Amino acid sequence: MAARSAAPFVPDRADLAALRRAARDCEGCDLHGPATQTVFGAGPEDARLLLVGEQPGDVEDRTGEPFVGPAGKLLDKALAEAGLGRTGVYLTNAVKHFKFQERGKRRIHKAPARGEIRACLPWLHAELAAVRPELVVCLGATAAKALLGDAFRVSEQRGELVEVDGLGVIATVHPSAVLRAPDRAAAYEGFVADLRVVREHLPADAARTGRDVKAAP
Ligand code: URA
């Protein structure tokens, strides 16, 4: 049987608005069935920094916006502390549908399978082609696997700048992992430290070109 893929649903050389419209009808894997809607990326088309998470959570599935639940709130705070404001950043996920298991009335997050990550990759590649960021941040192992391969270990290589097909990529932990960490304060400090490294790697001319990653207020 042929591998499932979003590729037939992704329009060629499309801008973000066209991609977002097309993604609503994606049936590239089975996750679209139980999910409420596709949660596409959000942010300016000329963002210099693009952040990739895992998949939408329960709140994102209901609202249709990435990173608006508890992990998103923590991410906003950490970005601000690192000197990066969310408004100038394009935020997306490796997988565009919420994968969950029903337990009573609750919907419990389930990690996407390798085939689902691979099936969704054409959307991420199309977003990268439309935004052309100067730096990409992988938040957690799913995003790192999608862009850097299965052998990449976030625990060993977090905060390091690596290059993939001419694109600078830095991986760090997922904000949900910070929320779950036994020592949350230490995990949060480590997360902010990685984001400060990201800030340092952004070109110094950002403000002059008008494509700035807006500094946090
Ligand atoms: N976790 C993610 O990886 N992405 C979201 O959008 C929300 C939570």
Q: List pLDDT tens digits, range 167-186.
A: 999 999 999 999 999 999 99
| pLDDT for residue 207 | 34
- Give the mean model confidence (pLDDT) for residues 45-57: 97
From 55, 59, 127, the mutation candidate for ligand 1 (largest count of ligand atoms within 8 A of CB) is: 55
Name the average pLDDT for the chain: 93
Written as one string, the DSSP assignment of 19-79 is: HHHHHTT--SSGGGTTSSS----BS-TT-SEEEEES---HHHHHHS-TT-SHHHHHHHHHH
Q: Which residues pair with 42 in a beta bridge?
A: 91
Instruction: Tell me the CA–centroid distance for residue 67 and ligand 1, in Å.
Output: 5
Give the separation between CA 149 and CA 139, rounded to whole angstroms. Answer: 14
| Closest approach atom of ligand 1 to CA 66 | 6
Closest ligand 1 atom, CA of 176?
1
Q: Which residues of 104-131 are buried (b: 16+ CB within 10 A; e: fewer)?
A: eeebeeeebeeebbbbbbbbbbbbbebb
Q: Answer whether residue 139 shows pLDDT above 60.
A: yes
160, pLDDT greater than 60 = yes
- Taking the centre of ligand 1 as the mean of its atom positions, its distance from the CA of residue 131, in whole angstroms, is 19
First to last CA, the chain: 52
Q: Is CATH 3.40.470.10 the right assignment for the domain spanning 12-201?
A: yes
Distance from the CA of 102 to the center of ligand 1, in angstroms?
18
> What atom of ligand 1 comes closest to residue 71's alpha carbon?
8
**Which ligand 1 atom is the nearest neighbour of the CA of 39?**
6
What distance in angstroms lies between residue 160's CA and the mean position of ligand 1's atoms?
22
Give the model's confidence band at 210: pLDDT under 50 very low, under 70 low, under 90 confident, else very high. Answer: very low
Q: Is 92 helix (H, G, I), strand (E, B) or coil?
A: strand
Q: Among the listed ranges 114-123, 136-145, 197-206, which one has the minimum average pLDDT value?
A: 197-206
**Whether the predicted pLDDT of 58 surpasses 50:** yes
CA–centroid distance, 140 to ligand 1, in Å, is 10
Please give the Cα distance from 103 to 57 (Å, whole number): 15
Q: Using the atom order of ligand 1, give the atom closest to the CA of residue 69.
A: 7
Instruction: List the beta bridge partners of residue 52.
Output: 92, 138
Whole-structure pTM value = 0.93
The DSSP bridge partners found for residue 103 are 106
Q: Which residues line ligand 1 (CB under 6 A)?
A: 53-57, 60, 66-67, 69, 71-72, 93, 176
Q: Which residues have CB under 8 Å from 121's CB, separation 6+?
A: 6, 94, 146
Per-domain residue ranges of the chain:
12-201
pLDDT band (50, 70, 90) for residue 205: low
pLDDT digits (tens, 9 = 90+) for 71-130: 999 999 999 999 998 899 999 999 999 999 999 999 999 999 999 999 999 999 999 999
Structure tokens at 33: 């069935």
How buried is 201 (Cβ within 10 angstroms: 0-12 exposed, 13-18 middle, 19+ buried)? middle
145: nearest Cα among 127, 120, 175, 126: 120
Centroid of ligand 1 to alpha carbon of 195 (angstroms): 17
The count of residues in the chain is 217
User: Exposed (0-12), middle (13-18) or buried (19+): which is 62, by Cβ within 10 Å?
Assistant: middle
